[in-house]
Structure 1
Amino acid sequence: MIDYHPFWITLKNSKESTYTLINTHHLSSSTLDKLRNNKPVTTTTLNDLCRILNCQIQDVVRYIPVENDQKL
């Protein structure tokens, strides 16, 4: 499972907020909702978040193995 909990920690420790992400950096509220609910986002979005927050990908996302992952 892809988990965005690191993003919320990174955001909290940054000078940015959900308000600035939406109003200054033009991220949509639906994208933030996807992050809140661990729904898929594009790699472009992940790239944008890393650029905005000046961080590495592991500061935004982590992988957690779970039993009900899709079978390959």
Structure 2
Amino acid sequence: MIRYRPLWETMARKKATTYTLRVIYGMSHATVQRLQANLPVSTHTLDKLCKIFNCQIEEIVEYVPDGEL
């Protein structure tokens, strides 16, 4: 399973909120909700997040085998 816990940690370090993603960077409410629920998002969205936070993909997503949740 892919989960976005590193994104929330990165956002906390950079003092960003979901409001920042939606209002400042134009990310849709639905996309933010998908991230919060660990649902699939497009590679375009992942690329945009890496650009916004000037970080590597590992600071946005992590892979967790299904049995380790």
Scaled by the length of structure 1, the TM-score of the pair is 0.87
Amino acid across the alignment from 2:9:
I
Query: Whole-Å Cα distance in 1 between the matches of residues 38 and 3 of structure 2?
Result: 6
Check whether the contact 1:50–1:57 (CA below 8 A) recurs between aligned residues: yes
- Deviating beyond 4 angstroms after TM superposition, the runs of 4 or more aligned structure 1 residues are none
Task: Tell me the number of residue pairs that the alignment of Structure 1 and Structure 2 aligns.
Answer: 67
What aligned pairs does 1:13-52 form with structure 2 within 5 A after superposition?
13-52=13-52
- Structure 1: give runs of 5+ residues left out of the alignment: 68-72
Specify the alignment match of 1:12 in structure 2: 12
* Higher gyration radius (CA): 1
Specify the alignment match of 2:58 in structure 1: 58
Query: Whole-Å Cα distance in 2 between the matches of residues 51 and 25 of structure 1?
Result: 11
Check whether the contact 1:4–1:62 (CA below 8 A) recurs between aligned residues: yes
Check whether the contact 1:16–1:53 (CA below 8 A) recurs between aligned residues: no
Query: Whole-Å Cα distance in 2 between the matches of residues 48 and 30 of structure 1?
Result: 15
| Higher helix residue share | 2
- Structure 2: give runs of 5+ residues left out of the alignment: none
